[in-house]
Amino acid sequence: MSMRVIKKAALNADFDRAAEDVRKLKTRPDDEELKELYGLYKQSVIGDIDIECPGMLDLKGKAKWEAWNLQKGLSKEDAMSAYISKAKELIEKYGI
C-alpha cells in the first residue's frame, strides 16, 4: 500500500472523528462558525457545489449554499484538513 493511500485513509478517519466530535459541543457555535463548518463539510464530501442557489425567500438554504460556494475549487483533501482544523478550534473554544 502506498504512503498516499495510507495518508488518505488517516485523513478520512480524522475527518470522520472531527465530524462526530463537533456534534458533541457543549455550546452551539455562532452562525458564522457553523456556516464555515458546513461549507467545508460539503466540499469535503461532495466537492464543488452542484446545485442551484435557492430562491431569495429560503434564507437558511441560501446561507448554506453561499457557505458551500465559498469553498469552490478547494480539493476534497484540503477541505477535509481545513474542516479538521476548524473542528479542533471549536472543540477548544466550546468543549465537548
- Largest Cα–Cα separation, the chain: 50
How buried is residue 72: exposed, middle or buried, by Cβ count under 10 Å (0-12/13-18/19+)?
A: exposed
Whole-number Å distance between alpha carbons of 91 and 29: 10
| Spatial contact of 21 and 44, defined as CB atoms under 8 Å apart | no
pTM: 0.93
> Could you tell me the three cell numbers for 49?
457545489
On the question of pLDDT at 68 being above 90, the answer is: yes
Percent of the chain predicted with pLDDT > 70: 100
pLDDT for 2: 87
